[in-house]
Amino acid sequence: MQPIQRVAIVGAGNMGSGIAQKTAQEEFDVQMVDREQQWVDRGQGIISNFLSEAVERRIFSPAQVEAIEGRITGVVGVENTAIDTDLVIEAVFEDFDIKTAVFNTLDKACGPDTILASNTSSLSVNALAEATGRADRFVGLHFFFHPAKNRLVEVIPAHASSPETVEKVVQYCKMLGKVVIVCADRPGFVVNRFFVPWLNEACLLMEEGVATATQIDAAARKAFRIGLGPFGLMNLTGPPIALHSTDYLSEQLHTPRYNGAQNLRDLIEANEHWSIEGDESYSDEQYTVISERLYGVVFGVAAQIVDEGVCSMEDVDRGAKVGLRWARGPFEMMNKVGVAASSRMAQAYADLAAESDAARAWNVPQFFVDQGDKNWNFSYIDTSIDQGIATVTINRPEAMNALNETVVSQLGEALDLVNADDSVHTIVLDGAGKAFVAGADVKFFVDKIRADAIPDIVEFTANGHVVLDKLESSSKTTVALTTGLALGGGLELALSCDYRIGTRRTQFRFPETSIGIYPGLGGSQRPARICGIPAARWAVLAGNFMDASTAAELGLLTHLVDVSGVSSCVAELAMNGKPANKYPGQPAQPESAVAVFATSFFADENMVDLMVGNCPGGFDSADRNVSRQLKSLSRTAPIALSMASALIDESANTNLSEGLQLELDRLTDIFSTADSLEGLSALIEGRKPTYTNA
């Protein structure tokens, strides 16, 4: 399947220019299309201003900005969209007739293989698909504002959308670094379906005199653990958008309770914003009423979304956490406040909805009622099997697929099933979203250290070793699709596989020594056995970032391919079977610059000097590469550095099983240090650690 590379965005307004910018940032070729030159120029100006701010904040360099802008071509006239465009995303006004006219023009201008998509937050995707003339090559998209910053996108297939169309668009969105929710075509899709009624309910609470806008915002911030309450959010995005959205849902879902509150209409008529200054204090009674009403609508709608088959409860939570930046998703919040209590709140809201229109019941789904007070269980592992190839996907993109107790347990169960399936000959391990796996859940470590529960860390890590061994010792060919970011425990997970496939977007790193610990899931053992001890020291002790080329030169990445070549590479590896020698003990390309430097700089005879921060003899500390390594080593925790180095050395004297056991045996020692708590805490808090060698 040829991936998407040439993308056109029709509509150069705030949303369209944002999609164009993000697409160009991720190295796609972009056309930004509008009907007049002035609008194209305006869109390019919006992008230029945004990127200039990014340079000031040191997010991009001037050279990177120049490259991004160089990938965007302005096009005047929809009819002039290039015929060989792979994907066109329409991002014009939320008006069905206008969008239809755009698609009619695009259908004539673009080649037969071009996929058309509509960025919409409200219109029927199925109706739009029928209007395009190529319903099988059409999908709905719902980017969240600002599309260059917000990581969420909802992908809405039409009934007629071909599987290949959906797959290619989802792949494009993932390459933008988006967290993708594939959902059914229902009004409001996922996030707006519960978020918009939540906004309107806040207005109704104020209208009823329960509390002021300021008090409601304060109570909502506490209940939902968010930075902005509903009124603050409406001020930010514009009250007219809230009114349009809630009236639309009221009409489409035949729910009078969603009719825009009168005070919201009056506010817009007066061209004003909500007043949210003043006293935020509220009584316990006010908090109970506000929180339960807002919880009730969110919990009830979230259950309706799942009951109607729009998406899974995991995706509902994902949408809230990524798209709205809520600390917890609706189902996670239900577990927190109690599922039975949550059901009661949803029923109370249903009773209010019945007062608006008794003939049209707003129902609490039966599965929600039947759940009683049992917590919801979430699944973070997806498995699919096609022609003997089992793809096991870690699906926790809102947390960069970080490994926690639940993920490790579920991954182990999934691997047991595919290992026991005689029809499966190849296991492909993948990560949803931009990352493969961005390490372990650091907060878990911090919480356990502070609770004096280090044995729990040891048990968690031991369980991780058991899961990785299900890959290591599998009779089936195992492949890690490390086509994104793999850090720490994620990289260790990948290295337990027979092969690692990467693309230009692959990035590897072992950050452990810089955060006060050592890599404890095989990171001190497998790299040395793959690429040799000096190269492992370069990767693990100094924690060097590795791009795809560097990782391939060392052999940590076994196959570097174009994005379009990933599927064929998997097929080839599945046919070839397991490698003859998984652990060659030397870099894949010994003559490469990184391998030559690592082999000489991190040689045995230099380690005494390096461990105390001195430049080894024969090297110039002013040399850029040398100084970079010395600086990296100086930022590590001394005890962690020493223990990691000793464990790497042990790889020469032990078999893999013995080396892995040594890692486990020393975990209590490393996590008992003050430096481990300092390093891990600093990572969470976004500050530089201060190590005391204790």
pLDDT digits (tens, 9 = 90+) for 115-168: 999 999 989 999 999 989 899 999 999 999 999 999 999 999 999 999 999 999
Q: What is the pLDDT of residues 14-72, one digit of tens each?
A: 999 999 999 999 999 999 999 999 999 999 999 999 999 999 999 999 999 999 999 99
Q: What is the pLDDT of residues 607-638, one digit of tens each?
A: 999 999 999 999 999 999 999 999 999 999 99
Asked if residue 550 and residue 681 are part of one domain, the reply reads yes
Residue 692 inside a domain? The answer is no
Residue 51 inside a domain? The answer is yes
Residue 1 inside a domain? The answer is no
Longest dimension (CA), the chain: 86
User: What is the helix, strand, coil percentage profile of the chain, to 5?
Assistant: 55, 10, 35
Q: At residue 85, does pLDDT exceed 80? A: yes
Asked if residue 531 and residue 444 are part of one domain, the reply reads yes
Residues in the chain: 694
Confidence at residue 355, expressed as pLDDT on a 0 to 100 scale: 86
Asked if residue 62 and residue 168 are part of one domain, the reply reads yes
Choose the final residue of a domain: 147, 165, 182.
182
Full domain range(s) for residue 293: 191-370
Choose the final residue of a domain: 182, 204, 235.
182
Asked if residue 252 and residue 165 are part of one domain, the reply reads no
Asked if residue 520 and residue 404 are part of one domain, the reply reads yes
Asked if residue 638 and residue 527 are part of one domain, the reply reads yes
Choose the final residue of a domain: 138, 160, 182.
182
Confidence at residue 2, expressed as pLDDT on a 0 to 100 scale: 84
Q: Domain tally for the chain?
A: 3
- Strand pairing report for 152-157 and 138-143: antiparallel
The CA-CA-CA angle for residues 304, 307, 312, to 5°, reads 100
> Which CATH number fits the domain that encloses residue 517?
3.90.226.10
Return the residue matching tokens 């080329």.
549
Asked if residue 202 and residue 153 are part of one domain, the reply reads no
Report the distance separating Cα 331 and Cα 339, nearest Å.
9
Return the residue matching tokens 């059914």.
184
**CA-based end-to-end distance of the chain:** 54
> Which CATH number fits the domain that encloses residue 110?
3.40.50.720
3-class secondary-structure state, position 446: helix
3-class secondary-structure state, position 180: strand
Percent of the chain with pLDDT over 70: 100
Residue 690 inside a domain? The answer is no
Tell me the pLDDT band of 358, cut-offs 50, 70 and 90.
Answer: low
Residue 54 inside a domain? The answer is yes
Asked if residue 591 and residue 468 are part of one domain, the reply reads yes
Find the mean pLDDT for residues 654-666: 98
Asked if residue 168 and residue 225 are part of one domain, the reply reads no
Confidence at residue 548, expressed as pLDDT on a 0 to 100 scale: 97
Classify the C-alpha dihedral 675-679-684-689 as positive or negative.
positive
Report the distance separating Cα 666 and Cα 678, nearest Å.
19
Asked if residue 517 and residue 649 are part of one domain, the reply reads yes
Tell me if 585 sits within 8 A of 532, measured CB to CB. Answer: yes
Q: At residue 653, does pLDDT exceed 90? A: yes
Asked if residue 560 and residue 455 are part of one domain, the reply reads yes
Find the mean pLDDT for residues 499-517: 97
> Which CATH number fits the domain that encloses residue 200?
1.10.1040.50
Dihedral, CA atoms, 71, 72, 76, 77, nearest 10 degrees? 90
Distances (CA, A) of 439 to 232, 400, 548: 35, 8, 18
Residue 103's nearest CA partner among 133, 142, 146, 58 is: 133
Residue 135 inside a domain? The answer is yes
Q: At residue 361, does pLDDT exceed 90? A: no
Find the mean pLDDT for residues 562-571: 92
Report the distance separating Cα 389 and Cα 423, nearest Å.
9
Tell me if 377 sits within 8 A of 416, measured CB to CB. Answer: no
Report the distance separating Cα 655 and Cα 660, nearest Å.
9
Residue 314 inside a domain? The answer is yes
Confidence at residue 512, expressed as pLDDT on a 0 to 100 scale: 98
Report the distance separating Cα 456 and Cα 441, nearest Å.
13
Confidence at residue 20, expressed as pLDDT on a 0 to 100 scale: 98
Asked if residue 497 and residue 434 are part of one domain, the reply reads yes
Residue 694 inside a domain? The answer is no
Q: At residue 359, does pLDDT exceed 70? A: no
Find the mean pLDDT for residues 79-106: 96
pTM over 0.85: yes
SS (H, E, C) 555-604: CCCCEECCHHHHHHHHHHHHHHCCCCCCCCCCCCCCCCHHHHHHHHHCCH
Residue 187's nearest CA partner among 94, 265, 313 is: 94
